[in-house]
Amino acid sequence: MIKIGKNFKILAKIKRYIKLNAAIMRMVQGILTALLFTHIFACIWYLSAKFNEFEEETWINRKGLVNSNPSTQYLWSLYWATQTVTTLGYGDVAAGTDSEILISLFWMLFGVAFYSFIIGNFTSIITGNDQI
């Protein structure tokens, strides 16, 4: 897991201010890391359509979002990233181009491994078997 508390001064200040114990801080770090990766892949998902100039087969064109405002487009990208990484995968925002398929494949494989690690880490913290 990324050691966010040591790398970012603001989290260290929050930790001192709130005086959280190390286990809770590790859980917060896991959640923040998950949110960061989800945001990054949402942006990559949007860029895959943009780099293909919103052609007819891109997800953004098929959803009719080409002329939508950027916040709506980002919301749909975040929705895709969240449903894909959590393995819900409703299929309403599906890959249509080769680049979208590759991004989806990588995000699914990364997500399974990452969330397995996070859940295992949280379980260890909750059961008190964590050596901090």
Q: Output the pLDDT for position 35.
A: 92
**Nearest in space to 29 (alpha carbons), one of 88, 108, 101, 117:** 117
- From residue 20, alpha-carbon distances to 11, 15, 16, 28, 51 in Å are 11, 6, 7, 10, 44
What's phi and psi for 92, nearest 5 deg? -80, -20
Q: Take residue 79 and report the two structure tokens written for it.
A: 């929705």
Residue pair 22/131 in contact (Cβ under 8 Å)? The answer is no
Mind listing the pLDDT tens digit of every residue in the chain (132 residues)?
455 545 567 777 776 666 656 777 777 888 888 899 999 999 999 999 999 889 999 999 899 999 999 999 999 999 999 998 887 778 788 888 999 999 999 999 988 888 888 888 878 877 875 554
Domains along the sequence of the chain with CATH:
35-127 (1.10.287)
Q: For residues 121 and 52, give the distance between their C-alpha atoms in angstroms, rounded to a whole number.
A: 39
